[in-house]
């Protein structure tokens, strides 16, 4: 019976690692490798008329890694026997998600949906 509990908890911490990394680690990487550079590029071209997205990204860059660190610390402190499963889940998310962190159609569409109000449509049309 204890083996079943061990494997169930290992799987649970693996799933926790997947979800925590998917909602903290990947968005952080997308901000660093796409969001900030794309905003700066649009500002340089005069298409973006505000630096508000950079401010939002700065807040996210403080908040998301902090959440990841706190959850990792709590898991390591209280469930160190299962921390490896959490880390493996995080590594898998990183391995499968790293290619989605750059300039791709999904990130551009999300960027435009989130930050479209700061883009000067007149300059795009001309």
Predicted pLDDT of residue 125: 60
Query: What does the alpha-carbon distance between residue 38 and residue 15 come to, in Å, rounded to a whole number?
Result: 32
Residue pair 115/39 in contact by the 8 Å Cβ criterion: yes
Predicted pLDDT of residue 90: 97
Mean pLDDT of the chain: 92
Q: Could you tell me which residue, 119 or 56, shows the higher pLDDT?
A: 56
Query: What does the alpha-carbon distance between residue 36 and residue 70 come to, in Å, rounded to a whole number?
Result: 25
Instruction: Tell me the C-alpha to C-alpha distance, in Å, between residue 39 and each of 72, 83, 96, 102, 109.
Output: 31, 37, 25, 13, 13
pLDDT band at 84 (very low <50, low <70, confident <90, very high): very high
Query: What does the alpha-carbon distance between residue 73 and residue 68 come to, in Å, rounded to a whole number?
Result: 8
Provide mean pLDDT across the span 65-89.
Answer: 95
Residue 126 has pLDDT above 60, yes or no: no
Query: What does the alpha-carbon distance between residue 23 and residue 43 come to, in Å, rounded to a whole number?
Result: 27
Predicted pLDDT of residue 51: 87
**Residue spans per domain, the chain:** 2-125
pLDDT in tens, 23-60: 999 999 999 999 999 999 999 988 888 889 999 999 99
Residue 1 has pLDDT above 80, yes or no: no
- Return the CA Rg of the chain: 19
């Amino acid at each position: 019976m204890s083996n079943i509990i061990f494997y169930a908890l290992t799987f649970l911490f693996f799933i926790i690692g997947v979800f925590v990394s998917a909602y903290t680690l990947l968005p952080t990487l997308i901000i660093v490798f796409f969001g900030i550079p794309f905003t700066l590029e649009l500002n340089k071209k005069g298409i973006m008329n505000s630096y508000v997205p950079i401010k939002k990204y700065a807040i996210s860059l403080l908040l998301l890694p902090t959440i990841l660190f706190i959850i990792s610390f709590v898991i390591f402190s209280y469930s160190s026997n299962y921390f490896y499963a959490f880390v493996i889940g995080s590594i898998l998310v990183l391995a499968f998600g790293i290619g989605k962190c750059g300039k791709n159609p999904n990130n551009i569409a999300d960027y435009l949906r989130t930050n479209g109000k700061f883009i000067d449509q007149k300059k795009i049309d001309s």
